[in-house]
Structure 1
């Protein structure tokens, strides 16, 4: 049974950006909660603010108004340094562009966030590599990998950090349909095994239907 106490709670969140004619509101009073073990799809047309919402949830950006609580942390009350430490320990983000470190091999990329947070688990890293089909790729560098393999490395890196909240921004957007389905299967299985909360941005109705719940962002509001 999923824990009913949210690990992510956004209340009355507003965010605007400067435009040619002044401030343009992107998020208009967002209320969103995600509990441990939940998988939530965040959908909406391009430019609707999905990535902005995700970045605010992950402490990469700040809200203009409203509150954002992540694992009992009020992000508005945290300094930049404390938000950075919070991202290392409680949150992991999977980006569409993979964001692997080209100078590190696969093994070191997977271990990177966990080592920074001070809780690298070599047994877990080896297990993730095996489950994601990366065991024979560990000494290779990102440039030698396919897109699907790079995304698997990004997923392994995120899970290896043992986050309470996992944020994914179009994690299969750069993959072909077959590879995307395989990577999504692997991601959901790993999330189910850890009990982390997953908030996943996607344009794909097929991917959205695989999540436990769907929130649609339109005109700056969730509907």
Structure 2
């Protein structure tokens, strides 16, 4: 089992006291498995992805990923987890503005020691980025930046891909290419994919679907 989450809880401070975002979430994910998380805005989907990816810390519960207890890692350990094990596709893209598109695509793979130029080239071609490689993020549209962020994650061949609305800024045809590339990574490398989506069509492509409602899985 690649990922095991047990009784995960998370609250955030608010003007009227703590707001519970996750209320005892438990799930498991095997290597090679794909999971779609659906739910209304504010149901805790993005928070769950951030906790699994070591981008935030839980109040309680356990996250065990590829043999590591994520909830016990310090900042350095969580950063190492994101370099070597987890790839996160953010809604905000988080591209490095001082790097070209080509350098952004290769960045995480180089950090992980898994850079493959042929793979980077294939991803750039598949995602329609071949003509944009010398440009910088500020010169791209939102949809193009999203495709660069996806290529960067997939180029590093992570053990687990966490994708937060990965096709939210893309047209239908490009969205279809993106999900095919993600599913191909799972098939080729035995990685797992957990994605948050509001798209019924995208959720239907996953092997399993779970619904979050008010911080609880259904």
TM-score by length of 2: 0.93
Alignment of structure 1 residues 38-187 onto 2, 5 Å: 38-187=33-182
Mapped to 1, the partners of 2:160 and 2:185 lie a distance apart of 13
Q: Are 1:11 and 2:13 an aligned pair? A: no
* Unpaired stretches in structure 1, ≥5 consecutive residues: 1-5
Mapped to 2, the partners of 1:101 and 1:15 lie a distance apart of 29
The number of residue pairs the alignment matches comes to 218
* Counterpart among 193, 198, 216 of residue 211 in structure 2: 216
Deviation per CA, 1:157-207: give whole Å up to 9, x if none.
Answer: 101112100000011112233433333233323333232100000111121
SS at match of 1:171: coil
* Unpaired stretches in structure 2, ≥5 consecutive residues: none
Deviation per CA, 1:58-109: give whole Å up to 9, x if none.
Answer: 0101111110011111012211111111111000000123222222111100
- Is contact 1:97–1:174 with CA below 8 Å preserved after alignment? no
Q: RMSD value over aligned CA atoms?
A: 1.6
- Is contact 2:127–2:147 with CA below 8 Å preserved after alignment? yes
Moved over 6 A (4+): none
* More displaced stretch, 33-42 vs 176-185: 176-185
Mapped to 1, the partners of 2:214 and 2:191 lie a distance apart of 29
